[in-house]
Structure 1
Amino acid sequence: MGKYILNRLLWMIVIILGTSFIIFTILFFTPGDPAVIIAGGSANAADIENLRHIMGLDKSYLQQMGSFFYNTFIRFDLGTSWIYNKPVLQELLVRLPRTIIIGLPAMLLNLALGLPMGIFAATHEGKWQDSLTMGIAMIFISCPDFWVALLMILLFSAKLGWLPSYGIGGPEYYIMPIICSALGGIAVNARQTRASILGVFREDFITTARAKGQKERKVVFKHMLPNALMPIITSIGTGFARIVAGSAVIESVFSIPGVGLYLLTAINGRDYPVVRACVLFFAIFTAVSMLLVDMVYAFVDPRIKAQYSNAGKRRKI
């Protein structure tokens, strides 16, 4: 078990380092000079060159990359924003709770609605209940987040006046962003749960359970669902990572100053330290989410434990 987790941790480190290298390289070779954009149209050549020196843009690719990796992974310093002139880590810690406030309830909503929808559709395979449930899921997954967000603003804010349309404040400010973030995940979880349940629906042990006279509800939740959990767990883990990493659109529409909006503003302003830090944060968050999924695999699926236990025994022999 420990070897399994250690193996996943090593892969997580490789992924984080690889992501850091890729985003740094992409930004370095992106056309345009950030110093010119940040300095403004009234700056002269001397001011721009001085700003490039302050920002470290006058150094070579290897020098800049070495400085970035050293400061990030040795000193744990994500740098200072070129636009806001504030430490990036400090700003991320302020904005992160707002992103989590949207992402975590959206994930819980995904589970609360997506799993029952998938189970209901699978247990009514081929019937109108199945078609209706999957039709609703198809609508949810087909509607873009920003489009649903704009429609909700028009209806619940402009027309009915029930909810605020933008900004942060009390719980009412997060209702529409959470719903918009959750719709796609509900559909994905419903479809994945249905497919997983149908994969074990006609297995021999299910037939045996029914032949023993067990109630259908017990057959579903005691026999079907535990044996269909692996793909569902994967869907849940990737869904949570996708909600947080894809928060830029929702936060932009509702003007919520979270990590996603911070990244979007930095991209538009060529604020490279912020872009690198946000992408690195999303990479770490996604890697940790998938690590947790792998750890759940190890506890849920005895075959994984057996695989690593047998590998250890073979080495001793």
Structure 2
Amino acid sequence: MKSIKVVLIWILISLKEIQGQSNETKCNEQDKIVDCSHLNLTIIPRHIPIYANSLDLSRSFLGRGFVNNAEAGSFLSKTLRLQDINLSSNKISTIPKELFLHPFKQLLTLTMSHNNLIAFPKFHASIKALQIINLTFNSITDFKYEDIDQNEKLGEVDTLLRGNPLKCSCKRLQFMKWLGQSSRVPDILDLTCVTEKVSHRIMSEVISNLKTFEISCKAKLCHTDAEWVKQFDDKLSSMGFSLCMDSKDFFVGNRIEGNVMNVIDSSRKIIFIITHNFIKSYWESYEMEMTRMNAYLKGREDMVIIVLKDKIEIYNMPETIQNI
């Protein structure tokens, strides 16, 4: 019985080696183009010719190998002159760290469309010739700060993002601002995104709306409570939000009512920070009522946010606050 097991194990190992060898020999080489597509590969063949400038590895199962194989980037042991790499349709969700940390100094185009990527790939610092990164139809919802920084360091590269489940919300404000200001996403007019209310929007329209709503929040507080608001303002600014306050954003010479209405119309959210001093102030209650009525008339009831800083019982609050 023991000898049978040994024979079976030997056969399985032999088959695996044969399969690996056949995978590598099946690649079609023509001129400087190496076509390994449609071969159901789980590893990248090691013997890529040094002279090759185009490598097509599409429509296989490399994603499976990238997860389970610590040597997924072993084909990079040689100095390759690749200008075009196609890894599309490979069920890739994670990329081996060493894969693009290889100095592909001549790499022009990288295609990773129709995979399951959720983040921007990390590249070697010497990769400067790259012109196109195709990330269409993946699972990317946004770019984090490090993703944007990585993209900017690559030089003038076009990043294609169509078909990704992008999200447009306050939490993605930095990403949306970058999309609006950058010329690196040529298919921006084809992008759609999902809002916090799970409605689908055209990304370019959302970005255009962001430019109109330049003020992210208006914090309405009693002036006697203004001491700690500076810290609040600094915190919001570090997160990419702009905070409007009477002391720095009201126009001198304008009536208070006019200033309040201008701020309401140009803000996405109005935050009322409720303290004991706020409740005692006549003007604060008046401005709150103006905000509430304006929001109701314009169908923007969800723009008003109440924050209780002090411990106050509901029955001690003004009727205006209770109604909100």
TM superposition score category, shorter chain reference: under 0.3
After TM superposition, the score normalised by the length of structure 1 is 0.18
Kindly indicate whether structure 1 or structure 2 has the higher relative contact order, using CA contacts under 8 Å at least 6 residues apart.
1
Q: Which has the higher helix share?
A: 1
Task: Compare the two structures and name the one with the higher strand fraction.
Answer: 2
